[in-house]
Structure 1
């Protein structure tokens, strides 16, 4: 009886033969986490560079705020929308100099206050940046972020890096857990000297003083005498822009 010849192995069919850059299983493996972090950082960086974005004004606030929502939500939405327009018209994003844009509105890219600020920028004819994060219940980008400046992140750390690294101001409207996380992240960077003298403004003083007992932190010795000066307050969009002007925000030359 004739024996059947063994079928020779075909190396080209094996995962080891795939080009590394095309090997999805390899790229998504734990060993490549550092590379994924770098790629995620660089992709957004190149997209912003292509649009000449040199600096941003970051707007945080609740994703649950609605234009027709209950209580003060319509006021917060309207003022965030107005602020996005004011910054875009007066801060340089609308009129780039030698291809460079300053003080471009940047948000987390989602609904609520983020949508309102991007909407104001869009209505002014200026770009708006959306740094979206991939969540179990996916957060879709709002309709007013500039498509080429709308990014999706897997890693919160890289998203936070991009929100902070070009920021010339941080303006925070009322929000919940996510807003508090982002606010205190920036406050900690300022307090520890890891971030420059970027003005931090909280819109609607009554909301923020009712939410956080700032003086209790100082009385308990948890923060230094000057730490509570790191954040200021504004009552509305015009007031926020006025404070930013007093802190030297302008089109860079």
Structure 2
């Protein structure tokens, strides 16, 4: 653990005056509000978008990077915008694919001590900086019409299961959630079906909340098909 982490733990056990608590917590509320306001104002100007998630650690010569780039290109060719986390790896690939296809893309960047920095394929006016993960996730879900999930780590899992949970509980309208990489994600979803479902902790219909694919073409086609049944498509 870092020295900063140790200090946070020690502070949590210190005696504090009511005035100290009131001042620090109140100012934090205003910082959170400011992030929501900026996110809502900037994202309200964007049309239908698909969020592309995956690891920040993915190198540029990796097959997952190429898949993310291709997904973004195919989406923008059909009029969709692309939302990424704004950083390197899969996020960079998503913004790059949209940029090179002449489409719209946005980066919702998070301030982290490592891994995260702005990639070069986002215009400054389409980059939003966040300190709070939960605010960032609200913006992702509020303004996305679909999720494409490439291989990633804990952060990717967090975003994936947040979306599935919100749809499952009816807190958010149903939208397509597609995972790309059957070999990578297959074991996880075998466990969900063979362990979680058998234990009665989810329902059979919950298995229909997501889809596994292997190619960029199949991933984006699932999103196109989902909205075409409602006779909906983005305005070019």
TM normalised by structure 2 equals 0.83
2:12 corresponding residue in structure 1: none
Task: List runs of 5+ in structure 1 lacking aligned partners.
Answer: 1-27, 69-73, 93-102
For the 8 Å contact 1:127–1:146, the answer to whether it is kept is: no
1:136 corresponding residue in structure 2: 113
Q: Aligned to 1:152, what secondary structure does the other structure show?
A: strand
1:202 corresponding residue in structure 2: 179
For the 8 Å contact 1:62–1:112, the answer to whether it is kept is: yes
Counterparts of residues 1-253 of structure 1 (less than 5 Å): 29-49=24-44, 52-68=45-61, 74-90=62-78, 92=79, 103-137=80-114, 139-212=116-189, 213-215=191-193, 216-248=195-227, 250-251=233-234
Q: Aligned to 2:197, what secondary structure does the other structure show?
A: helix
Distance in 1 (CA, whole Å) between partners of 2:114 and 2:166 is 29
Distance in 1 (CA, whole Å) between partners of 2:38 and 2:115 is 20
TM normalised by structure 1 equals 0.78
1:98 corresponding residue in structure 2: none
Larger Cα Rg: Structure 1 or Structure 2? 1
1:21 corresponding residue in structure 2: none
RMSD, matched Cα? 1.7
Q: Deviations over 1:60-97 (max 9, x none)?
A: 111111122xxxxx21111110111111111x2xxxxx
Distance in 2 (CA, whole Å) between partners of 1:138 and 1:203 is 22
Distance in 1 (CA, whole Å) between partners of 2:123 and 2:217 is 24
C-alpha spacing 1:65/1:48, structure 2 compared with 1 (3 Å): same
Q: How many residues align?
A: 208
